[in-house]
Each structure stands twice: as structure tokens, then as C-alpha cells.
Structure 1
Amino acid sequence: MADTPLASLSLTHVHYDPNDPISYFCAWLALVPQGLCVVYATLIWSTREIEILLMFGGQMACEALNFALKRLLKEERPKQMHGKGYGMPSSHAQFVSFFSLSLTLFLLFRHVPKKPTPSHTPLSLVARVLLSGLALANAGLVAWSRTYLSYHTQKQVLVGCAAGAVTAVAWFLVTAGVRQVGLLSWAMDLPITRLFRMRDLVVEEDLCQAGWEKWESKRALSSPKSNGKKKR
């Protein structure tokens, strides 16, 4: 074992210039896809929303497409980068492009917030546009960081962004069709879907709306005013 050379786990191993604060910041941006995978898993498990599961399925399909394209095109990374694997297209750029555009399409075209109630105020159109802009700006930063760190050329990043965007639009249309023809309703009644208690409410309401209304009702019942009325 002492003579065996050690290998580096490249999943989170990022090269950067320690004397350059921007390079250090870009190294953290390289971890955004891994962070988003944690967000996907957490939301799927905690909310059981089928819409989030569908989006994650599209994200994995996008990753599979990137895997295939890299091995089909076989374009090397920039010479100054010592990273392994092919560089065309950028997987980071493709990942964040799919995520940000998918979120934007959902917020602006599929999400139908309910009317305001005393315990819940849905996101306004302005808020949804701002959130979409923030997601797209974050994707732009991550994509730019790949060229700054010399992991990819500008062309590799642009192709990655284009591949992610095309996949996001295509997946959005496919899932819209699945809803339209009733396949999703059929799938929601399957024993395996009901076993995991999957639901389809996020297209109509805020993720925390149902829990918040339940909490407000409980507070109202346990408040001093409510107890006073019961005693009378």
C-alpha cells in the first residue's frame, strides 16, 4: 500500500489560483451543480412533489446527453488545464442552463398561484420574474467561471449553455404533453406512486402553503382569545 500512488476524487477537486480572489470565488461556483443535486434530493424527499421529481428526471437526462456528446465530439480541454476528460460541451454550463431555464419556464408558464388568503400571499408575477432572473444570472456566473478557471474554452461553454437550454425547453414541452393527455394523472394513481405519497400541488400553490395554513389554524385554536370563547 505504501508504494501505491494515490488518486484524487475529481468530483469536488477544483484547480484555482490561491493568489487570485476571483479564481477562489470561481472554485466555489464549480460546486453549484453538486449543491443543486442536494437541493433536488431534499425537496423530493420532503415535499413528495411530482413536478420536482420530473424536473430532476430531465436534469439527469441532460447529464446523460452531455456524457454522450463529450464522447462523440472528443474535444480536449484548454492546454493550460490539467483536468481529466473531454471539454466539449461544458457539463457545468449545461447543468445550470437546464436548471435555470426549467425553473424560469415553471415560474412563468406552469405555476398557477392561488388567490391570496388571510394566511397566504402567493408570489406575484414581478417576484417570479425576479426569481427567474436571479436563477439565470447564477447560471451565467457558473458558466463564465469555467472559462476563467481555464477548464473550458468559450465555445465549449456556449455549446453547453445551448444544449442545456434546448433540453430544458424540450423537457418542458414533453412534461406539458404528459399532463395534457392524462398520463401524469394515471401515473399518480399507480401503487408505487401512492406508496411514496407523491402529490401534484406545487403547480397551484406555494410549497409551504398547506403547512402554514395548518399551523395558523392550530395557533388560532390555542390562542387565549379562542380559549376564552370556548369557556364562555
Structure 2
Amino acid sequence: MHYVTADEVPMNMPPILVPNGSSTLKPAYKHLVDFHPPGVLSDPIYRPLSITFIEYQEGDKLGFFLAWFSMLPFIYIVSLCTLILFRRDIQTIMYFGGFFVSGIINHYLKIVFKQQRPERTRDRMDFYEIYGMPSAHAQSFFYFMTYLAIFVILKSQMPGSPNIRSIRHRFFVIVQFIAAILVAYSRVYLYYHTIAQVVVGGVLGTILGCIWYYFVNYQFIKYVPFIIDRPLAKYLLIRDYSPIPHIIHFQYESEYSEAKRCRERYANYMKDQTPSDIP
């Protein structure tokens, strides 16, 4: 079989029209006439990252709303990475490490259970894992919310009356719980998981959040002073806030005071730079 090359194209060949006929193409015909043998340019198979690929029925406003809630684990992961980048806190790093532990457990549990997703999702298996027990979204987000709720209650008490602290903490925990429920419900509503799959994922995430919090704050914490004193940790500016009580209030007060001092120093500097009036 002979394949036509660009050199064999007649010089008086008329211009090739664009499909809509509105204009002509420049005479660069090589990519149009120098075809490769069949199979040479066969398209590879591309798979989207399933945690970011959410579909909902067109016109379904509730589905659109829940699709954004289904994206919350991914949004939370990005926010957590940003927090780690700027805080370098070993507690936050270990908190994020629990997410990877959760992902590994979820992956192997799906292989063990081998329970398929709902019927409607099986038509889109090119985009998702074939197994859905337990739900990775529900498991990861319930892990995040459980760990954070325990941390807020035990480690982030604000100054003030106990009643005010209790109301603030309860409100924060309730909001987290509602968000986790909506994430789990979105996976069922959008036909990515069954109710049993999100319930098992939520229970596993809650258990893992409790276990991981105990491990980090009662076992791993013993080795933190040794870790942060290593040259590599100092080079990366890794720090430990766990010995500081009322950490959120402490950071607010210290950063507010430092920012105020910087503003005052800048104002004094600008005042010194202003030329004095000459009589």
C-alpha cells in the first residue's frame, strides 16, 4: 500500500475548506494527507481521577447542589495541603497522613468485599472503580470530620465561660457532622454508591478518626521532640504546637500583637522619612 506524502501533493491543489466553509486553511497538508498505518496512532485509554469526576442529571438542581458536596473531600484535601505548606505543623501533617492510611484500607477492603456499585453507575465503569464497598468519599470525609471534632473539643478550647466554649464547640461539631452526612447522601443520590456502602464507609471513617487521633496524640507524640530536633526537620521548618494550650487563641493573640507592632514600626519609619518644615 502506498501512502501519499506531502511532496507528492500537486502544487495547484485547491485550498481545503474548513468544515463550516467560512475560511480556508493554510497550505500545510502534511498532517492531512500523510496518514500513518492503522494502529500506529491508536488512542490510549484515559481515565479521570474519580474523586474529581462527578456527574449529575441535567436540570436537577438538588443533584447539582449535592455534586458540590460530593467534591468536598477533594476541596478539603487541597485546603489541608495549603495549610501544611504554610504552617509546617507536625500535628497537621500526621492528620493528613491518616487520610493516606484511610485510602489504603479502603482500597483493600473493596478488593475483599468485591461489591459492585449501583446498576446505573455500572454503565460508566470506564470512569470509576468497579467496586464500591465501602465508599471512599464517605470513609475519608468522616475520618477528617471525626479527627477534627476531637481535636477541637480537646485541644482548641477558647478562653471564656465554659458555657460559651461548649456552644461554640457543639456548633462546630454539628456543622461538620451535617457536612459529612451530605457528602455520604450525595454519593447515594448521584448513584455512585448504595446506602450500605456509604454507611460502612462512614462507620469505618469514624472509627479510624478515633484510632488515629489516639495514635498521634498519645503514642506518636512521644517521639515528636526527637523528630523536630533533627536537621532535616529544622531545615523544613517543621514545628510542634501540641504543648501550647488554647492553640487557636494563642496564635490569634501572638499574631495580632506582632502585626500591631509591625504597623507601629512602619508608621514611625514613614514619619521619620517625612521632611520637616523649614521656616
Shift of 1:208: 4.7
Partner of 1:167: 208
Partner of 1:4: 43
Change (3 A) 1:223 1:129: farther
**What's the C-alpha RMSD, in Å, of the aligned pairs?**
2.4
Shift of 1:213: 2.1
Asked whether the 8 Å contact 2:149–2:173 carries over to 1, the reply is yes
Spell out, residue by residue over 1:96-115, the C-alpha distance to the aligned partner (whole angstroms, 9 max, x if none): 100011110000013355x5
Equivalent of 1:60, from 89, 100, 109? 100
Asked whether the 8 Å contact 1:90–1:160 carries over to 2, the reply is yes
Matches within 5 A, 1:183-198: 183-198=223-238
- Matched residues in 1 for 2:208 and 2:89: separation? 21
Asked whether the 8 Å contact 1:179–1:185 carries over to 2, the reply is no
Task: Using the TM superposition, name which of 207-216 and 70-79 deviates more.
Answer: 207-216
Q: Which amino acid aligns with 1:211?
A: E
- Normalised TM-score (structure 2): 0.71
Shift of 1:158: 0.2
Change (3 A) 1:196 1:21: same
Identity of aligned pairs, percent?
26
Partner of 1:137: 178
Q: Which SS does the other structure have where 2:120 is aligned?
A: coil
Spell out, residue by residue over 1:134-167, the C-alpha distance to the aligned partner (whole angstroms, 9 max, x if none): 1121111100100000110100000000110110
Partner of 1:24: 64
Q: Which SS does the other structure have where 1:160 is aligned?
A: helix
Q: Which SS does the other structure have where 1:80 is aligned?
A: helix
- Matched residues in 2 for 1:2 and 1:19: separation? 38
Shift of 1:170: 0.4
Asked whether the 8 Å contact 1:188–1:199 carries over to 2, the reply is yes
- Matched residues in 1 for 2:41 and 2:65: separation? 36
Q: Which amino acid aligns with 1:183?
A: Y
- Matched residues in 1 for 2:140 and 2:217: separation? 21
Asked whether the 8 Å contact 1:100–1:139 carries over to 2, the reply is yes
- Matched residues in 2 for 1:44 and 1:200: separation? 12
Partner of 1:148: 189
Q: Which amino acid aligns with 2:151?
A: F
Q: Which has the higher contact order (CA 8 A, sep 6+)?
A: 1
- Matched residues in 2 for 1:219 and 1:5: separation? 57
Change (3 A) 1:217 1:124: farther
Asked whether the 8 Å contact 1:70–1:89 carries over to 2, the reply is yes
Spell out, residue by residue over 1:51-93, the C-alpha distance to the aligned partner (whole angstroms, 9 max, x if none): 1101001111111111111111110001111343210000000
- Equivalences, count: 218
Shift of 1:212: 2.3
Q: Which SS does the other structure have where 2:57 is aligned?
A: coil
- Matched residues in 2 for 1:59 and 1:210: separation? 31
- Normalised TM-score (structure 1): 0.84
Change (3 A) 1:201 1:70: same
Partner of 2:257: 213
Q: Which amino acid aligns with 1:87?
A: G
Change (3 A) 1:64 1:22: same
- Matched residues in 2 for 1:56 and 1:10: separation? 19
Q: Which SS does the other structure have where 1:163 is aligned?
A: helix
- Matched residues in 2 for 1:217 and 1:174: separation? 40
- Matched residues in 2 for 1:210 and 1:200: separation? 16
Shift of 1:127: 2.0
Shift of 1:37: 1.1
- Matched residues in 2 for 1:137 and 1:128: separation? 14
Partner of 1:43: 83
